[in-house]
Structure 1
Amino acid sequence: MTTILITGVSRGIGRAMAEEALARGHDVIGTARSDGDFGDLKGRDGFTPLVLDVTHRDGLARAVGALGQPVDILINNAGIMGPKGSALSLDDMDGFLQTLQVNALGPLMVTQAFLPALRKSERGRVLIVSSQMGSMHYAKADNIAYRSSKTAVNKIGQALATELRDDGIAVANLHPGWVRTDMGGSSADISPEESAKGILDLAQRLTIDKTGRFWNWDGSERESW
């Protein structure tokens, strides 16, 4: 039985991944910021709710202490869009900092916290839901807070892959696609369910020889970050 920990399961891709993983017969540990955010996931067979904020060290430590079981796959999904605005127009610097904290430092802090549980697995894997919007090959200035946070988390994922290789823990950054969520909008290309299925397929196939790479949701590898 595979145990998958997914951050940010209250809505969107995170919710769809939790649903799909349960349908595949996996044990799912899902995180949300409040108990009321789990909806009908709570009480489902195979689902364990964890209330935490990915940016709070004390809360992460308490969650890890309460878990007491191996984690086979950690999917760092929780994220925010942050304030709109380009590099020159954005004046909400507090919002910019919060976006960096949630989208970049959050996955790092969660991975650090749950590393002992990943090390207990026979084949631990870490996936980070990033975005092609963070690619250095996209010379765009809009949504600078979100773009910068995803560029940062791509580097963090690469560094984690380097450090965790000797532990046999594979790490992957991925672009989830342009998804019809509150963040992606109603005109986006794919549904949360399509994205979730592709991400879980990627998670199951990920091996240490492919660590440190950047993937699309459909399993194709991206040549540029």
Structure 2
Amino acid sequence: MAKHLFITGANRGLGLTMVKQYLNDGWIVTACCREPEQAQELTDLLQQFDALSIFQLDVTDYESVELLAANLTEEPIDLLINNAGYYGPKGGMLGSTPVDEWRKVFEINSIAPLKLLEAFRPHLKRAKSSCFAVLSSKMGSMTDNSSGGAYLYRSSKAAVNSVVKSLAVDLFEDEISVIALHPGWVRTEMGGPNGLIDVDESVTGLKTVLDHLDMTQTGMFFDYKGQEIPW
């Protein structure tokens, strides 16, 4: 039986490329994004792959998250990837931190992943040795922070890393592994044109990490090369 991937933020960049790679690898893929009608490249894949389903989902609309989970109630999910994320305003802001934007960054990057897991935990339990993977960032590493700044994004990723650590403990008996992933500095709309790697290289690496994951690695933080990142 084919394995099942559920992924958020699937309309572009890393998420879209993950959808393509997993479909090409024979997986069933449930892809979610806020505006499917604007995601032409994603919806075009429906013509090529019967194994693809697309749903409209705002990950911060928790009622909609619960409804979608209820609609898919019989579906086992082998891999749940929280890819949806938000960087927020860039540039220097010390002294004038935009609090409303900070709340938005935290909502999307730190709170929504946990609410997604809460809704889809039963689906992960139905699959054997399933995984919840959160697209984090090395910018959330306390140890790695030597340049300062980026308060909104850094703090949100540090927070979701803490969520990952706690979930790894709480879901161990369910045989659900939980990991944080750093995709690298990728040339995407969020990463910008100066990124060091392209999307395909990042996703190929991340998929390799996920393909070889087991319960001994739950609660860990890896980059796309499979190297462990300090918290």
**Fold equivalence (TM over 0.5):** yes
Return the match for 2:55 from 45, 50, 73: 50
TM-score normalized by structure 1? 0.95
1:24 maps to 25
What is the aligned counterpart of 2:138 among 127, 132, 137?
132
Within the candidate set 142, 145, 160, 1:153 is matched to 160
The match for 2:150 is: 143
Aligned to 2:66: 61
Deviation at 1:198, TM superposition (A): 1.3
**What SS does the aligned partner of 1:82 have?**
coil
Shift of the alpha carbon at 1:86? 4.6
State percent identity of aligned pairs: 36
Q: Which residue in 1 is equivalent to 2:5? A: 4
Aligned residue identity for 1:151: A
TM-score (norm 2): 0.92
CA deviation after TM superposition for structure 1 residue 87, in Å? 6.2
- Residue matched to 2:14: 13
- Give 2:101's match in structure 1, choosing from 95, 102, 105: 95
The number of residue pairs the alignment matches comes to 224
Residue range with higher mean Cα deviation, 82-91 or 19-28: 82-91
Q: What is the CA distance between 1:150 and its match in structure 2? A: 0.4
For 1:128 and 1:90, how far apart are their aligned partners in 2? 30
**How far apart are the structure 2 equivalents of 1:181 and 1:90?**
27
Report how far residue 89 of structure 1 moved.
3.4
RMSD, matched Cα = 1.4
Aligned partners of 2:9 and 2:83 also within 8 Å: yes
In 2, Cα distance between the equivalents of 1:158 and 1:213?
A: 7
1:183 Cα deviation (Å)? 1.2
Letter in 1 for 2:79: I
User: Structure 1: where are the runs of 5+ without partners?
Assistant: none
Q: What aligned pairs does 1:134-213 form with structure 2 within 5 A after superposition?
A: 134-137=140-143, 138-213=145-220
Aligned partners of 1:22 and 1:163: how far apart in 2? Answer: 30
Distance, in Å, in 2 between the alignment partners of 1:118 and 1:37 is: 29
Structure 2 residue runs of 5 or longer lacking an equivalent are: none
More divergent stretch after superposition (139-148 vs 189-198): 139-148
1:2 positional shift? 1.1
